């Protein structure tokens, strides 16, 4: 369920413009507005969950899907062979800035 005021929920609902590079029923991926590297995509579940601490065990298939999407996007972006990172920040102490689970797919420099 979308959360009022959540920028990632708005992007997933197409009510805020973004450069979407992948979308299916469960996940949306788009270019980060403040990239840390030449390739910097955000992979976001469409269902709002604040952070990984709140993910129920029943969502295990969704998070496997996110990893698969990351791999497919790495191939599409031409970085699968040269290498890439996939990471998620959790909570303020972990550097999370948006209160919606999201994964960073990054390549092109050492972050």
Q: State the total domains in the chain.
A: 1
Q: What is the pLDDT of residue 110?
A: 63
Domain residue limits at 22: 7-107
Which whole number is the average pLDDT over 2-28?
Answer: 93
Which residue of the set 40, 48, 100, 102 is catalytic?
Answer: 102
Q: How far apart are CA 90 and CA 52, in angstroms?
A: 6
Q: Any catalytic annotation for residue 102?
A: yes
What's the pLDDT at 16? Answer: 94
For the stretch 79-111, pLDDT in tens is 999 999 999 999 999 999 999 999 999 998 765
Cα distance between residue 27 and residue 46, in whole Å? 5
Q: What are the angstrom distances between the C-alpha of 90 and each of 19, 54, 85?
A: 24, 10, 16
77 within domain boundaries: yes
DSSP state of 65: H
Does any domain span residue 1?
no
Q: Flag whether 41 is in a domain.
A: yes
Structural domain contains residue 44: yes
The CATH number linked to 70 is: 3.30.428.10
């Amino acid at each position: 369920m979308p959360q009022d005021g959540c920028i990632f929920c708005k992007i997933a609902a197409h009510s805020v413009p973004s450069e979407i590079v992948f979308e299916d029923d469960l996940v949306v991926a788009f270019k980060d507005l403040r990239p840390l590297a030449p390739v910097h995509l955000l992979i976001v579940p469409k269902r709002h969950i604040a952070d990984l601490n709140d993910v129920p065990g029943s969502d295990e298939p969704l998070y496997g899907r996110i990893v698969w999407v990351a791999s497919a996007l790495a191939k599409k972006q031409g970085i699968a062979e040269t290498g890439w990172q996939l990471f998620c920040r959790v909570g303020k102490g972990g550097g999370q800035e948006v209160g919606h689970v999201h994964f960073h797919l990054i390549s092109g420099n050492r972050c």
